[in-house]
Structure 1
Amino acid sequence: MIDIKELKISSNSKKLVDISFTIKSSTALIGESGSGKSLTLKAILNLLSSSLDLKKEINSNFELNFNTIGFIPQNPFTSLSSMTKIKNQIFCSDEKKEEVFNLLDLPLEILEKYPSQISGGQTQRVVIAIALSRDIKLLLLDEPTTALDLENKTNIINIVKNLKDKLNIKILFVTHDIESIKDICDDIVIIKDGHIVEFGKTQEVLNKPQHEYTKKLFNSSFKNKQFRK
C-alpha cells in the first residue's frame, strides 16, 4: 500500500494541488485537463519544476525511486530516440529483455529495429517494456491511450489489465478517459482544481456518482453507458 498522506503543490502562494489518497492495488486519478493530475504524477516522480513549491508525505513499504517506479508517458512516439535501435534503448540484460518482450507479446526481432520501423501499437508496448525492464513496485500511467486509435487503445488497456493480473505491482492510472480504467482500477479518485471531490470503489462511483462534478464528468465522457455494469 502506498499512502499519500499529504501532497501539496503551490506557486507564489497559490495552491495548485492539495490532495491525500491511498494506492491499495490499482487506482485511477480522473479529472479534466488542468485539474492537477499531471502535477501529481510529476511530484511522485520528483520531476516538478524548481519554480513550484512542493510538500509531500508518502508512506510505503519500499523506497520510491528510479528503480522501483515505472512510468508510461502520454505520447510514446516522443519517448524513443529515432536514431537508436530499440535494443539500445532498454537498459537491462538480454534475458530481461526477452522476458518483458514475451510478456508483452512483442517479437524479439523488434530489438534490432528503429522506432520508425515499427507500428504505433508496438511503439507503445516497447515503452511499456522499458518501464518493466527493472523490478518495479509501482507503475505510473499518464494518459497512455490518448495518442492511439481505437484498436491500439483497446490493446493497451488489455495489456495493462494483464500486467495487473500477472505482476505484483501497484498501479496509478492517470487519465480523463474514464472508460479506459473501468476493468483495470479497483479504486477511483476524482480531482478538480487540485482537490479531491470524490473517491471510492471504481464500480460504485461509476454506478452512483455523488458529486455534481463527477456526474458532469461522467456524462460528458460516456458515449456508451452500458459498460457501467
Structure 2
Amino acid sequence: MLKINKLKISSPNKQLVDISFDIKDSSALIGESGSGKSLTLKALLNLLPSSLQVEKDIYSTFELNYDTIGFIPQNPFTSLSMMTKIKDQFFCSNEKKEEVLKLVDLDISLLNKFPSQLSGGQIQRIVIAIALSRNIKLLLLDEPTTALDEENKTNIINLINDLKSRLNILILFVTHDIESIKDICNEIIILKDGQVIEKGFTIDVLSTPKEDYTKKLINSTFKNKQFRN
C-alpha cells in the first residue's frame, strides 16, 4: 500500500497541488492538462525543480527509491537512446532481460536491434520491460498510450491489465482519458486545479459521478452510456 497523507506543491506565488489519496491496488489519477497530474508524478519520483516547495507525508509498505518505482513516460521514444542496441539499454543480467521481454510478449531477438528498427508499440513494450527489470513495487504510468495508434493503444492497455494480475505491484495510471483505465484501475481520483474533487471505486464514479467536472470528463470520453445510469 502507498498512502499519501499529504502532498503540497507550491511556487513562490501559488499553491499548485494540495492532495491526499491511497493506492491499495491500482488507481487512476484523472484530470485535464494543468490539473496537477504531472506534478504529482514528479513529486513521487523526486524530480521537481528546486524552485518549487514540497511538503509530503507518505506512508508505504516498502521503501520508495529508484529500485522500487518504475516509470512509463508519455512518449516512449524519449526514454531510449536511438544509437544504442536494445540489449544495452537494460541494466540487468541477460537472463533477466529475456524474462521481462517474455512478460511483455516480445521476442528476445529484439535485443540485438536498435530502437529505430522497432514499431511504436514495440518500443513502449521495451520501456515497460526495462521498468520491470528491477524489483519494483510501484508502477507509475504517465499517459502511456498517447503516442500510439488505436490498435497499439488497445494492446498496451491489455498488456498492463495482464501484468497487473500477474505481478504483485501497485499501479498509478495518470491520464485525461478515462476510457483507457476503466478495465485496469480499481479506483479513480479526479484532480482539478491541484485538488482532489472526487474519488472512489471506478465503477461507482463512472456510473454515478457526483461532481459536474467528473461528469464532463466522462461525457467527453465515452461515446456510449454503458457506465452511466
TM-score (norm 2): 0.98
Q: Find the residue that maps to 1:184 and give its secondary structure.
A: coil
Is 2:202 the partner of 1:202? yes
User: What pairs up with 1:1-229 in 2 under 5 angstroms?
Assistant: 1-226=1-226
Letter in 2 for 1:144: P
Deviation at 1:218, TM superposition (A): 1.0
> Take 1:105 and 1:226, find their aligned partners in 2: how far apart are those partners?
31
The share of aligned pairs that are identical, in percent, is 72
Q: How many residues align?
A: 229
> Take 2:196 and 2:227, find their aligned partners in 1: how far apart are those partners?
24
Q: Does the 8 Å CA contact 2:203/2:227 hold for their aligned counterparts?
A: no
Unaligned runs of 5+ in 2: none
> Take 1:17 and 1:223, find their aligned partners in 2: how far apart are those partners?
31
- Change in 2 beyond 3 A, CA 1:97/1:82: same
Deviation at 1:49, TM superposition (A): 0.9
Q: Does the 8 Å CA contact 1:203/1:228 hold for their aligned counterparts?
A: no
TM-score (norm 1): 0.98
Q: Any runs of at least 4 consecutive aligned residues in structure 1 with deviations exceeding 6 A, and if so which?
A: none
Deviation at 1:227, TM superposition (A): 5.7
> Take 1:228 and 1:152, find their aligned partners in 2: how far apart are those partners?
27
Deviation at 1:228, TM superposition (A): 6.0
> Take 1:225 and 1:104, find their aligned partners in 2: how far apart are those partners?
32
- What is the CA deviation profile of residues 66-125 of structure 1, one whole-angstrom value per residue up to 9, with x for unaligned ones? 000000000011111000000000111111111101111101010000000011110000
> Take 2:223 and 2:162, find their aligned partners in 1: how far apart are those partners?
25
> Take 2:192 and 2:18, find their aligned partners in 1: how far apart are those partners?
10
- What is the CA deviation profile of residues 169-220 of structure 1, one whole-angstrom value per residue up to 9, with x for unaligned ones? 0000000010010000000000000000000000100000001110111111
Unaligned runs of 5+ in 1: none
- What is the CA deviation profile of residues 8-50 of structure 1, one whole-angstrom value per residue up to 9, with x for unaligned ones? 0000141000000000000000000000000000000000011
> Take 1:216 and 1:227, find their aligned partners in 2: how far apart are those partners?
14
> Take 1:225 and 1:50, find their aligned partners in 2: how far apart are those partners?
44
Let me know the Cα RMSD of the aligned residues: 1.1
> Take 1:98 and 1:40, find their aligned partners in 2: how far apart are those partners?
33
